[in-house]
Chain A
Amino acid sequence: MRSHTYLQDIIFYTTQCLTQSAGLLLQLPQSVTAQANVLLARFWLIEPMLSYEFSDTSAATLYLTAKLSSHPVSVRDICNAYTYLWSDSSPLFRRQPSPQQQPPEPTAYTPTDSQKTSFHNRLLSLEARILYTLGFDTHVALPHPLAITYLQALEFFNHSKSEIGSLTIKYLNTALLSPQMLYLTHQPNALAVAAVYNAARDLGAKMPDTSWWEVFDCDREELGFLVVGMRSLEGWVGKMREDGKGVWEEGMVRRKDVEGEMTRRGLLRGNGDKAVDEEEEMARLMDERMATMEAQS
């Protein structure tokens, strides 16, 4: 059975990966990029995913979080990074290029002036949209510092702290990408406990015999849920890759592709019988928007 959620999950996962990649290219600390991931998930709880191009939404959340942090980035840098990731030259969601292959020409991923201007406009209007949608609630509490604190409290004697610590952080970072939106459904302390638990179990570190998670305000059920949730992402991604080749090897998912896919599956208007004329659809959306605006004013 294929449904809406299937596509939604793929969009969610790939867009979060895109944010992470952009964060790396822009040399942002993970604390900033992770907050952008959380804001994006919050935004999509309220705003339909298809309202904006996915990469634009990712760029706007990253720009906004960076602006609020001590590592602001300019619109131009964001534009360059996203144009590259969006271009055919980007290895994101493609087969790795063979070593013999010539590296792509820089012109292939350099935005033109008009692209820059239009990116700028889209970014700023989306920024405002995001702020409005989130009710200006931009604070994000990440579990990473808590996890470190918990590790220090726990003392796994037979394993080095750096080893278990880095695996814990990896679990936390992976959980950011999960379409289960664990960062929205669970408190930072619970996420931290689950990541520590997973890391310790993977390394065979000896955990206390008691229900130590309760010390950190996390009950057994919650921990169990999160442990499974965090571990399941890898398998899920592998399965998705097998299933949805089209979406996975042609670069970052685009709104157009998804709409096409939805039409094919009979999920979009037209019920698969006839392809929806894109312009017609656009006109309809604009009409709707005008109507709501008039109703408001």
Chain B
Amino acid sequence: MASSVTPFVDPETGAPTSPRSFAIVHQRPRGSFMGCSKIHDYDILGKLGEGTFGEVHRARSRKTGALVALKKIIMHSEKDGFPITALREIKLLKLLSHPNVLRLEDMAVEHPPKVEKRNRPIMYMVTPYMDHDLSGLLDNPSVQFTVPQIKCYLQQLLEGLRYLHDNHILHRDMKAANLLINNKGILQIADFGLARLYDGQTPMPGHGGGIGKRDYTGLVVTRWYRPPELLMYLKKYTTAIDMWGVGCVFGEMLVGKPILTGESDLHQLELIFDLCGTPTDDNMPGHKELPLYKDLHPRPRPGNLPQRFREFGSGAVSLLRELLKLDWKSRINAHDALQHPYFRNAPLPAAPGEIPTFEESHEFDRRKFHDRKAALPPAPKGGTVGRGVVNGNTGPNSGFEPDGYGGRNGANGSRYPRNGLPPPGERRPAWQRDHGHRDLPPRPPPPQNYSNGWDGAEYSDSYRDRDRDRPPRGGIRGGHRDAAPIDTYIPSYDRERDGGGGRREPPRDDRRRHDWDDSRRHDRRWGGEHDDRMRSSRTRSRSRSPIRDRDSHRDRDYRRG
């Protein structure tokens, strides 16, 4: 009998007890940890939206009466069981507790009716309901941010991020749509689907982001918020990647729309160089060692950040410059950013309670503000990150990737077998599936130089050639033409954006999208421009319209053939 080994003694009676009851007695109090509820513990009040995050419902808790958001966990693959991204997110969120980090309150399970035997239970993550996300709020035409308000949000964002970084967590998907705001003026960082533990030294005041200790996967962060070092394939990245995202969000709050809206990874870099200048040994030491740099030949330029943000004052420009530093090692960290004079100079940051309340606005229902009837195309699901082994083309040990992100080895290129097409049955984002172009012939085999291609630049020619034989796809020659033939080549995703007025979410899946997609994008630049103007009376975003012609040439120039 085990109890003869070491006495487990009942604290009250003094009688020996079994280890099992001893352990049960010494458990955490039940109330301190909710565990998992049933979906019936919540009254569903309606769908909030659908997007990269899956389905989100608004609900009221029957126990507490509080409004909550229920985020459905998408079961990507029956094969691998509970999705790893969701598991990681849950695990991380359970470890965190900070006013500026979204709290995971509960998990809820829904048992589908017993009609179909295969129906698995559906899991929901329960978080407090937040009235807005920053992206939706900025897009709400009735909302005008004031400087104290911007300072207040930025301060909270930095507080949250400081907490995350101090606790060894990289968020890796910093963007406006992932920052939730409620009508009490509280900002919270959400969506930890890409987050992971950080192995390196946590940021020290006065020492920027420090030096990376180990490799991580480069396929993170939504493109518009992706820092230059990631775009140039630095693998040993640091907490500084999140700080770049903060800079982008800060700029976005000042201007009212995203500031760096690249259409491809190369284009994104060009936009960054426009803003921050091209890399030199001074502003980005070590840039020559970055894998991509030798292929880049940007036209040297100083960067126009001060001019572009002049109207917001020197304090804002100075902080923005610190956040958008090309040099990831000296890019300001959250500790130091919070000490920046910007927060101490008039106008002072507002207290959260002073911020007026707004009509609820979410990134995913922006069409509310644009009178768009068309449904948003389902955005590519980002939750596939660590889905594990891609069927068929991997060996038994394919799950062993140093990063634990099985199936996403390497940079853009290696996801699919050499023919460049996903294996049959592989899930593709909706916009990538055959939408309007079923009439197209099968895609041509990729060019010979496939294996060294990491991005679509070289391909564009072959695709373009092919397309020249096709009927003109619109705009380029002017004239108001019917949209139909053009649209056959424009993923519905972009159609929405073009009509919807300037704001769109870059597909999160970009990071893993295959080359041929990028080349398609290059194509679209030739064809789509005029059409955009015709169909949308809104002014196109400043940052995007001029680059169309200019850039498609440049894309080729800064790569050596």
A residues contacting B by CB (< 8 A) are 1-6, 8-9, 41, 45, 63-64, 67-77, 120, 123-124, 127-128, 131-132, 134-139, 179-181, 184-185, 225, 228-229, 232-233, 235-236, 293, 296-297
Contact = CB atoms under 8 A, between A and B. Distances in A.
Contacts of A181: 19-20, 23
Contacts of B332: none
Nearest to B121: A128
B432 to A, nearest CB: 26
A228 B9 CA distance: 14
Interface in B136-185: none
Contacts of B389: 74
B554 to A, nearest CB: 39
A20 B22 CA distance: 25
A31 B157 CA distance: 34
A179 B406 contact: no
Contacts of B406: 72
A4 B111 CA distance: 34
B81 interface: yes
Q: Which applies to chain B's interface (DSSP): helix, strand, loop or mixed?
A: loop
A179 B2 contact: yes
Interface string B15-41: 000111011101100000111101000
A289 to B, nearest CB: 12
Contacts of B38: 296
A128 B398 CA distance: 23
A235 B95 CA distance: 38
A64 B78 CA distance: 15
Contacts, number: 130
B79 interface: yes
A185 B2 CA distance: 15
B372 to A, nearest CB: 37
Contact of A136 (B3, B18, B90): B90
B340 interface: no
Contact of B20 (A5, A123, A229): A5
B518 to A, nearest CB: 29
Contacts of B107: 135-136
B82 A127 contact: yes
Most buried by B among A1, A67, A139, A228: A67
Given A5-B2, A136-B36, A139-B95, A69 B23 contact: no
A229 B1 CA distance: 14
A71 B88 CA distance: 14
Contacts of A75: 79-81
A188 B425 CA distance: 46
Given A72-B388, A139-B91, A184 B23 contact: yes
B111 A297 contact: yes
